[in-house]
Amino acid sequence: MSSHKPLNFFGLTALVLLGAVSELLGKPVGGAAASGADAAAPKRLFKTVFLTAIAVLALLGIGGLLFMASGLYNMAADQPHTPPVRWMLLAGRTRSVEFYSRGIASPDLSNPTLARDGFVFYRKLCQPCHGGPGVANDQVGRGINPKPPPLTTTAVNWTDAQLYWIISHGLKLSGMPGFAPPLGDRDRWALIAFLRRLPLVSPADYQLMASSPGQPSLPADAPSDADLGFPSIQKGNPRLGKTLISQYGCATCHLIPGGGSGLVGPPLTGFAERQYIAGILVNTPANVVAFITDPQALKPHTAMPNVGVQRTEAIDIAAYLYTLGSPNRLAALRRAGTRARNGSERAGR
Amino acid sequence: MFSARLAIATAAIASAVTVGCSRNTIAAAEGISAGRAGEGRHLLYSYGCGSCHVIPGISEATGTVGPPLAGLANRQYIAGLLVNTPENLFRWIRQPQQIEPGSAMPNLNVTEQQAHDMAAYLYTLH
C-alpha cells in the first residue's frame, strides 16, 4: 500500500500560500507606474479584506469548538446528524477511502469457491449489523449510527480495492470494525467475491442459505448474461414500451413517470435502481419480463393481474422502465453476472 | 398600492391555511392509526426503514431496495397482497415474513405500539 501522506501535500500547499500572501502584502499591488498614494489604496483594501477573512474564519473555528465543548450537539445514535455535519463526515469518509485504497490490486474473484466461503464469513460477521435480503440485522446493528447500509444496494458504489480497504481497516466514527485480524487476506477477498454475487440472490434463496449453517447453497456459477435477460432487453424499444404502457393501462395502477399516476400499486419512479420487484424477485430484465407477462404465476394472489402482455411487448415495456433512474445498478448486475467467466474487475469502472 | 400590512396579513393567512391543512392530515392519520405521527417519524428513522425505502420527511431515507413510500396513504394495496387498512399495515410492518415468505422485507420485532406510531406517520403521506 502507498506510504504517501496527504498531510505533507497540504502542509506544502499551506506554506506556498502563506509565502505568496506575505509577498503580496509586502509589495504594491498596482503596476510599477502607479503613484505613491494610489498604489497604497488597493494594497490596503486587499489587506483589509484578507485580515477580515482570517478573523471570520478564526471566529467560526473558535465558535465551532465552543459549540462542541458546550455539549449542545446531540450525539444520540438514534437521532440523525444535522445535514451539514452528515455531509462533511460522509464526504470526508468517501475521499479518505478513495485516497488510502489507491494501489491495492484486486485479484481474480471468479473462483466460485471464493464466493461460497465469503458467504460463511458474511453470515457470521456482516449479517448481524447489515442484515441480508429478507433477514433483519440484530439489535446491535439497528442501534448504530451511521446505519449499516444494506450491502445489496451499496456495495456496488465501491471498487473491490475500496471494499477491501474498508473491510480490513474499518471506519472511524462508525460502527464498522476492521476485520484484518481475524480474517486473513484470502478470506477478505472471498467476502468481496460474495458481496458481488449478493445482489443476484433472491430473498427466499438468501433466507434458505442463512438458515442452514455449514451448507450454503449459493449456486457455484454466477448467472450468465442470457440468464439475466440482458441480450433480449437490449433489443427492446423504450419508445414502443411507453406506448404499450399506455395501451395496457399500467398507469391506472402505478405512478409511472411519463405515463400517469395510478395509486393501486407502488410507484415505478427510479425503476432501474430498485433492487427487488414485487418484493420477492431480484430486479433483472428476465424477472421483469416474466413478471409483466404472468404476475400471478410468480406471485399468486398479487393485486397485479395477468392482462395478456406478450413477451416481446413485455421486453419493450421493461426497456422503457429501465430508462427510469440511474443505469448503474443494472451495469453492476451485468458485471456480477459475467464476472465468473471474466475474472477480476474490469479497469475504468 | 402595495401595503406592507396587506402583505403580512396575506402571508399569515396563507401559512395558517397551510398549517391547518397539515394539522388536519396528521390528526386524521393519528386517528385511524391510534398512534403518534411524531414518534412514528422517529421510529422509521431508528429502525432503518430508510435504508430500503425512500420515505418523504425521514432523514437519510433514500433506500432503493424496496418501493418508495410516498403517497402510501392513498395506495390501494400494501405489498401487492393486502388491502391498505391500518390493521393490515400494522400486520405488515410487524410480520412481513409470515404474510409473504421470501419477501425482501425482514421481521424487525416492531412492537404493537411502535407499528401504530409508524402507521400514523405513514398515513400522513398523501
Per-residue model confidence as pLDDT tens digits over B65-108: 999 999 999 999 999 999 999 999 999 999 999 999 999 999 99
* Helix (H/G/I), strand (E/B), else coil: B54: strand
Kindly compute the dihedral angle of the four CA atoms of residues A130, A132, A138, A144, in this order, to the nearest 10 degrees. Answer: 20
Q: What is the mean pLDDT of residues A226-247?
A: 95
> By the 8 A CB rule, do A342 and A260 touch?
no
Option in A270, A279, A325 nearest B100 (CB): A279
pLDDT value of position A9: 54
pLDDT bracket for residue A336 (50, 70, 90): confident
pLDDT bracket for residue A211 (50, 70, 90): confident
Residue A254 reports pLDDT greater than 60? yes
A130's CB contacts (< 8 A; 6+ apart) are A137, A141, A148, A149, A150, A151
Do residue B104 and residue A275 have CB atoms under 8 angstroms apart?
A: yes
For the range A177-183, what are the long-range contacts, defined as Cβ-Cβ under 8 Å and sequence gap of 24 or more? A179/A125, A183/A121, A183/A125
Nearest residue on chain A to B104, judged by CA atoms? A134
Residue A123 reports pLDDT greater than 50? yes
Nearest residue on chain A to B106, judged by CA atoms? A134
Residue A251 reports pLDDT greater than 50? yes
Higher pLDDT: A168 or A342? It is: A168
B4-122 CATH fold: Immunoglobulin-like (2.60.40)
Q: What is the mean pLDDT of residues A167-180?
A: 94
Residue B17 reports pLDDT greater than 70? no
B12's CB contacts (< 8 A; 6+ apart) are none
Question: What secondary structure letter does DSSP report for B87?
Answer: H
Option in A203, A299, A325 nearest B80 (CB): A299
Residue B2 reports pLDDT greater than 80? no
- Residue B57: count other Cβ atoms within 10 Å of its Cβ: 13
Do residue B109 and residue A136 have CB atoms under 8 angstroms apart?
A: yes
pLDDT bracket for residue B7 (50, 70, 90): low
Do residue B102 and residue A303 have CB atoms under 8 angstroms apart?
A: no
Option in A204, A253, A276 nearest B66 (CB): A276
Can you list the positions of beta strands (E) in chain A? 255-256, 260-261, 276-277, 281-282
Q: Which chain A residues are Cβ-neighbours of B52 within 8 angstroms?
A: 150
To the nearest whole Å, the CA of B56 is away from the closest chain A CA by 14
Cα(A81)–Cα(A74) distance, integer angstroms: 8
Task: Give A177-209 pLDDT, tens digit per residue.
Answer: 999 989 999 999 999 999 999 999 999 999 988
Kindly report which listed range (A146-160, A266-280, A307-321, A324-338) carries the lowest average pLDDT score: A324-338
pLDDT bracket for residue A221 (50, 70, 90): confident
Residue B10 reports pLDDT greater than 70? no
Residue B56 reports pLDDT greater than 90? yes
Residue A17 reports pLDDT greater than 70? no
Do residue A204 and residue B101 have CB atoms under 8 angstroms apart?
A: yes
Task: Please name each of the domains of chain A with its CATH number.
Answer: 101-220 (1.10.760.10), 226-336 (1.10.760.10)
Do residue B77 and residue A207 have CB atoms under 8 angstroms apart?
A: no
Which region holds residue A255: left if phi is over 0, alpha if psi is between -120 and 50, else beta? beta
Structure-block grid coordinates of residue A81: 446528524
Q: Tell me the CA distances in angstroms from B76 to A120, B81, B89, one per residue in order.
A: 41, 10, 12
Higher pLDDT: B13 or A245? It is: A245
> By the 8 A CB rule, do A187 and A164 touch?
no
Option in B80, B104, B109 nearest A304 (CB): B80
Cα(B79)–Cα(B85) distance, integer angstroms: 12
Backbone phi and psi for residue B83, each to the nearest 5 degrees, phi listed first: -60, 140
Do residue B68 and residue A266 have CB atoms under 8 angstroms apart?
A: yes
Q: What is the mean pLDDT of residues A117-139?
A: 94
Residue A2 reports pLDDT greater than 60? no
Residue A220 reports pLDDT greater than 70? yes
pLDDT value of position A69: 92
Cα(A306)–Cα(B117) distance, integer angstroms: 36
The complex's ipTM works out to 0.82
pLDDT bracket for residue A309 (50, 70, 90): very high
Residue ranges of chain A whose CB lies within 8 Å of a chain B CB? 78-80, 86, 131, 133-137, 139, 142, 147, 149-150, 152-153, 202-204, 207, 253, 255, 263-267, 269-270, 273-276, 278-280, 299, 301-304, 325, 329
Nearest residue on chain B to A135, judged by CA atoms? B106
pLDDT bracket for residue A15 (50, 70, 90): low
Residue B48 reports pLDDT greater than 90? yes
To the nearest whole Å, the CA of A142 is away from the closest chain B CA by 6
Residue A267 reports pLDDT greater than 70? yes
Do residue A142 and residue B106 have CB atoms under 8 angstroms apart?
A: no
pLDDT value of position A21: 64
Residue A340 reports pLDDT greater than 50? no
> By the 8 A CB rule, do B26 and B110 touch?
no
